Structure 1
Amino acid sequence: MAKASIQAIRGMNDILPGESQVWRYFESTVKSVLDGFGYQEIRTPVVEQTHLFKRSIGEVTDIVEKEMYTFDDRNGESLTLRPEGTASCVRACEQHQLIANNQRQRLWYMGPMFRYERPQKGRYRQFHQIGVETFGMADPAIDAELIVMTHQLWKKLGIRDKVELELNTIGSNEARANYKAALVDYLSGVKDQLDEDSQRRLDTNPLRILDSKDQNTQSLLNDAPNFHDYLDEESEAHFAELKALLDEVGIEYKVNPRLVRGLDYYSKTVFEWITSELGAQGTVCAGGRYDGLVEQLGGKATPAVGFAMGMERLILLLESLNVIPDQVKSNIDVYLVSMGNVTTAAMALAAQLREAVPKLRLQMHIGGGNFKKQMKKADESGARFALILGEDEVKAGQASIKSLRDSAEQMTLNNDELANWLQQQL
């Protein structure tokens, strides 16, 4: 009896050749935008002490109650695969005294996160995020900078007209507490009409009811107390200035009074970039201000604001809109076809060209085969050009080059001319 093949864990996916080129394109595009704004990379472990997330995210959130991958190590210490990146970033900044004296930091990170959710298109149990966190700046200008930065990224990726910005402010802790009491009082009177999740959240995390996807619950919220009636003056002024800054730079937005975000540590500004191109999974980037989190985790009171974007979901959006440049889908520029006893000469030419043209991506055909079969492999590789080397070319110190993506004629160049020609093409 044959042994059963070993499969990847459900909701944890391989990224295969062909797919990985698109990921690298997306990652490099994001990095170029972050570099342009002067942000620095930070890398944290994928495993943290469980109480870090309980203290930061909140013990009664869905993430902590139902979705975290938590286990005891051999010393009996409770550890958790990180479900999000902000808490780890704050922990690292505190531990290494990057923000101990309210220093200003602009940081970003990239990597896998883990949540035990029902896998669906664009949402997985191991998923990847790019996150940005800033510390030490209370001015709404930094909130605006993050939004301007994401706006520039959408333009660079070619999806600006397919995403919309939603904004809200959820005020101070005191304002939220006052509003929460009023909301619970109202919803308790219609509890039996709420969806099952909202009934549970009424006793644990009532603000999350505001972004319920249940249509009946949303209709009940039409008569609920208005969050903005409970806002403190400081939060109102902060929000007004943020909107004025966005107006000044021409970034369109919609104020959504029911936008609250799902994590306990948010305060004041919250925002989401959403799209209608991915069905129900519409949020592609989300964040906000969390001025109290550093103190909550044992540090000094430190203003902070950040965002995270789901890489799977954004790559899915790029693919569905067909905006990925053709050259991204291949990792080869030149495919070297060799005929006759010229393997040594072919390797020498490949080495010479790679040194002369540092950005050149050149792959040699290995394994023999006639000219027709080698040219077929060259075409299948996705390369832009086939470089053809035979015994006659070797004797003459030349090689032939043929475009594989248009009808340009084949031409023959000496080796020095070839390097210069490729440099111009790339």
Structure 2
Amino acid sequence: MSLISSVDFLKHGVNTIRHFGFKSVDELKNDPLCRECKKRVDDKTSAVDKRVDGLHGMLTGGAATYFGSRLNAIEGPVLFYTTETVPRTGDAALSLHIFGVEKSIAEALLIQTMRALANESGFPNHSVRINSLGDDDSVARYTRELTNYLRKRADVLPPAARELMKEHAFSALMHLIERDDELARKSPNSLEYLSDPSRKHFREIIEYLDMSQTPYEIDSSLIGHHQCYSDALFAFDLFDEESNKLKEQPLYIRGGRYGTFVKRMSGLTVPAVSAVAVLRDKKAPTHLPKMKIPTPSVFVVQLGFGPKIKSLLLINELREAGIPVFQNLTSDSLSGQLLEAAERNTRFALIVGQKEFIDDSVILRDLHAQSQESVPISGIVRRLQRVL
């Protein structure tokens, strides 16, 4: 049982999520491109379709919100969150969605945000389980091998698994995994069938986990419904102070990519990755108190894979110090980020390039005074606290 109330979970959670660049749907809908969008996308997602995420449709529901609110009219990546009430249980939940980002920074951003959310909710002892099913080619190869493996053992398959084979090999495997059946433990590993692009994508996520010193485990048993998930999937496990895994997981966190699902339901190729956090046994409040949204004076700018990860960790450090920031970690344009910082009238830009990444430093640029200096990254929080 969690000690945090559902109101505090959602209130602190929203503040944390916003720090990492996620916005509410209402904010994004006010974008002129959304308001003036005349062409609706025919999203064919039914209630049954949504539930293939294993999360009551709270993850796949991001697609219906994305197209239904015409957020697809926005140029570039779209990051948004929704507060949820879990069907049947009434538990409070938060869903985070990233559309239009194919690169691994999307998973890194979701995992880091969820780690911050877990810490704020009173669960600092946690680890991440992660796996990848790969892209369409990878899934096709893996499915073929898994199907052959299970068919050769049809005589020893439990009756329920044999019946589920008629639906899909994944369905049968998920049943075997739930039973902790030896057949599941000896089944083919999806990571062995990844295409080169999927292997690179997964390796980059692992590099983020290593760089951020995130406790993690590559778990080949972490799979999802064949009509929903593709590429990376992740889940959180909570532990007590003695590093024992909690028998009851009061904060339930799952996430993954589902671009194939989005394409099947909308006919459009849009990269999509989402994550859901459920506070179990805590009823969602009927309303949340109005929260004051801070106006940051700092914009974190980065360029390159390593600098993106370093910047993500810096953003979290600034959050812990109570310093709000703007950022656009999905951008690969230095000039574009600096232009955005100027348009937002932020006073300072913190710039992390390849040199700064190697030197463990950051460029502190005063955009009003048009001056800059190099500062050790270990001292940037104290420096900002003096000048803000």
Could you tell me how far apart the structure 2 residues matched to 1:263 and 1:296 are? 12
Work out whether 1:159 is the aligned partner of 2:132.
no
- Contact 1:56-1:264 at 8 Å conserved across structures: no
Deviation of 1:284 after TM superposition, in Å, equals 1.3
Structure 1 residue aligned with 2:15:
32
C-alpha spacing 1:153/1:282, structure 2 compared with 1 (3 Å): closer
- Partner in structure 2 of residue 270 of structure 1: 233
Cα displacement (A) at 1:191: 2.9
Aligned equivalents of 1:207, 1:152: Cα separation in 2: 32
Q: Say yes or no: does 1:146 pair with 2:110.
A: yes
CA distances 1:26-71 after superposition (whole Å, capped 9, x unpaired): 111211211211211237xxxxx9952444555xx9x7xxxxxxxx
Cα offset, 1:106, TM superposition: 0.8
Matched, 1:234 2:197: yes
Structure 1 letter corresponding to 2:93 = Q
Q: Which residue of 254, 260, 270 corresponds with 1:292?
A: 260
| Aligned equivalent of 2:77, options 81, 84, 104 | 104
Counterpart residue type for residue 243 of structure 1: I
Other-structure match for 1:246:
209
Q: CA deviation at 1:178?
A: 2.0
Distance 1:236 1:225, change over 3 A: same
Corresponding residue for 2:87?
114
Q: Aligned in 2, Cα 1:91/1:225: closer, same or farther, shift over 3 Å?
A: same
Label 1:200 to 1:296 Cα distance change in 2 as closer, same or farther (>3 A): same
**Cα deviation, residue 288, structure 1:** 0.7
Written as runs of structure 1 = structure 2, the 5 A alignment for 1:235-384 is 235-262=198-225, 264-275=227-238, 278-279=246-247, 284-312=252-280
SS in 1 for 2:274: strand
Matched residues in 1 for 2:196 and 2:83: separation? 36
Deviation, structure 1 residue 283: 7.6
CA-CA distance at 1:24 after TM superposition: 0.9
> What's the offset of the Cα at 1:150?
1.1
Change (3 A) 1:299 1:188: closer
* Residues 94 and 277, structure 2, Cα contact 8 Å, conserved in 1: yes
- In 1: Cα distance, 2:173 partner to 2:277 partner: 22
1:84 and 2:47 correspond: no
In structure 1, the gaps of 5 or more residues are: 1-18, 44-48, 64-81, 116-123, 317-426
| Secondary structure at 2:164 match in 1 | helix
The DSSP-based 3-state class of the residue aligned with 1:311 is: strand
For 2:121 and 2:248, the matched residues in 1 are separated by 22
How far is the alpha carbon of 1:244 from its aligned partner? 0.7
Over 3 Å counting, the alpha-carbon distance change for 1:54 and 1:102 in structure 2 is farther
Over aligned residues, Cα RMSD in angstroms?
Answer: 3.1
- Confirm or deny: 8 A CA contact 2:177 2:184 kept in the other structure: no
Could you tell me which amino acid in structure 1 is paired with residue 17 of structure 2? L
Provide the TM-score with structure 2 as the length reference. Answer: 0.59
Are the aligned partners of 1:210 and 1:221 in contact in 2 as well (CA < 8 Å)?
Answer: yes
The match for 1:41 is: 24
Q: Cα offset for 1:181? A: 2.0
- How much has 1:153 moved relative to structure 2? 1.7
Structure 1: how far apart are the matches of 2:22 and 2:155?
Answer: 49
Work out the CA distance in 1 between the residues paired with 2:250 and 2:185: 22
Q: Distance in 1 between matches of 2:168 and 2:247?
A: 26
Q: Which has the higher contact order (CA 8 A, sep 6+)?
A: 2
Give the residue type in structure 1 aligned to 2:136. Answer: N
CA displacement at 1:158 relative to structure 2? 2.7
Deviations, residues 387-408 of structure 1 (Å, cap 9, x unaligned): xxxxxxxxxxxxxxxxxxxxxx
Kindly provide the amino acid, as one letter, of the partner of residue 132 in structure 1: L
Contact 2:170 2:226 in 1 (8 A): no
Query: In the comparison of the two structures, how many residue pairs are matched?
Result: 261
Alignment TM-score, normalising by the size of structure 1 = 0.54
Kept in 1, the 8 Å contact 2:129–2:219? The answer is yes
Q: In the alignment, is the contact (CA less than 8 A) between 1:135 and 1:304 conserved in 2?
A: yes
Output the CA distance in 2 between the equivalents of 1:281 and 1:223.
27
Q: Which amino acid aligns with 2:151?
A: S
Residue 132 (str. 1) matches residue 96 (str. 2): yes
In structure 2, what is the Cα distance between the partners aligned to 1:21 and 1:221?
37
> Are residues 269 and 299 of structure 1, via their aligned partners in 2, closer, same or farther at CA, if it must alter by over 3 Å?
same
Deviations 1:227-267 (CA, angstroms, capped at 9, x unpaired): 22211111000000111122112212100112112462211
- SS in structure 2 of the partner of residue 85 of structure 1: coil
Amino acid at match of 1:110: T
* Residue matched to 2:299: none
- Judged with a 3 Å threshold, the aligned counterparts in structure 2 of structure 1 residues 220 and 21 are, in CA distance, closer, same or farther, namely closer
Pairing 1:52–2:36 present: no
State the distance in 1 between where 2:10 and 2:249 align. 21
For residue 15 of structure 2, give the secondary structure of its aligned residue in structure 1: helix
Which entry has the higher C-alpha Rg, 1 or 2?
A: 1
The CA distance in 2 between the partners of 1:278 and 1:245, in whole Å, is 26
Give the residue type in structure 2 aligned to 1:294: V
- Report the CA distance between 1:192 and its aligned residue: 4.1
Following TM superposition, by how much is the alpha carbon of 1:305 offset from its aligned partner in structure 2, in angstroms? Answer: 0.8
Q: Assess, with a 3 A threshold, how the Cα gap between structure 1 residues 263 and 273 changes in structure 2: closer, same or farther.
A: farther
